[in-house]
Amino acid sequence: MPPDAVLFDLDGTLVDREPLMTEAVIRVTAELGIDLRSGTAESWVGSAWPDFHAGLGVQDQTGLDLTAFLERIQATAALLIDDGFPIRVLPGGADLVHRLRVRGVPVGVVTGSMRGEATDALAGLGVLDVLDLLLTAEDYRPGKPHPACYLLAAERLEVPPDRCVAIEDSTVGVASAVAAGMWTVGVEAANAEPGHAAHQRLDDAHVVVPTLELLTDELLEPWGSGR
């Protein structure tokens, strides 16, 4: 029996923009004179922008509100892309989204990215128009690892959380989905090596796969095996 809905994270799950955004954050905070200790940017992988902005104390230190801070980061990221900074499309993600929709399974994306950057990335993947739901950082608080975003997604799709599958790449994302009561799949395609500041621990996921290409229907349908 298929799940009632499948919910994907975006960055690190469908596309790998995290190295790009980490570099943009490092450059912008350096320009602003914010003390970003080694590994700090990477340690926020999977978190929503409002939480990152508040956690760094950006407004207190610089007077920049969230919108102005993100404008600086997005402008820097755009310059990095123009200079050839790579963005990886992660294997199997777009195909899995389309496969689920053909089967009639509702599909959503639940991300800590802002709506503009999320829609651009999803349009580039060719999946934006087939999604049943897109939740971005503007839609919920607090961010991951709190379960609010996944509980809201289940509510919007009118399905029980424990009948949803969530697919995540980060420690905080896995924690969020598990806390919401969802069958949680960790994907390692974009994960850093153990010992690196950006390495994500996915042990709490119910299933971990190297790439979404290897995520079989059986792994997406735990209820069929007696769950």
Provide the residue ranges of all domains of the chain, joining segments of one domain with +.
Answer: 5-17+88-225, 18-82
Mean pLDDT within 187-209: 91
User: Can you give the pLDDT at residue 158?
Assistant: 98
User: Can you give the pLDDT at residue 8?
Assistant: 99
Q: Which of 4, 9, 16, 169 is catalytic?
A: 9
Structure tokens belonging to residue 2: 């298929």
Give the model's confidence band at 226: pLDDT under 50 very low, under 70 low, under 90 confident, else very high: very low
Of all residues in the chain, what percent carry a pLDDT higher than 70? Answer: 93
User: Can you give the pLDDT at residue 206?
Assistant: 96
Give the model's confidence band at 227: pLDDT under 50 very low, under 70 low, under 90 confident, else very high: very low
User: Can you give the pLDDT at residue 19?
Assistant: 83
Cis peptide before 142 (omega within 30 of 0): yes
Tens digits of residue pLDDT in 10-40 = 999 999 987 888 899 989 999 999 877 655 6
Structure tokens belonging to residue 25: 């954050």
Read off φ and ψ for residue 54, nearest 5 degrees.
-70, -40
- Residue 94 vs residue 193, higher pLDDT: 94
Specify whether 9 is catalytic: yes
Angle between helices 171-179 and 148-157 (to 10 degrees): 50
Tens digits of residue pLDDT in 107-126 = 999 999 889 889 989 999 99
User: Can you give the pLDDT at residue 148?
Assistant: 98
Q: Which of 11, 16, 51, 169 is catalytic?
A: 11
Mean pLDDT within 207-225: 86
Tens digits of residue pLDDT in 132-180 = 999 999 999 999 999 999 999 999 999 999 999 999 999 999 999 999 9
Q: Please tell me the distance from the alpha carbon of residue 60 to that of residue 83, in angstroms, as a whole number.
A: 32
On the question of pLDDT at 83 being above 80, the answer is yes
Cis peptide before 145 (omega within 30 of 0): yes
Please name the CATH architecture into which domain 5-17+88-225 falls. 3-Layer(aba) Sandwich (3.40)
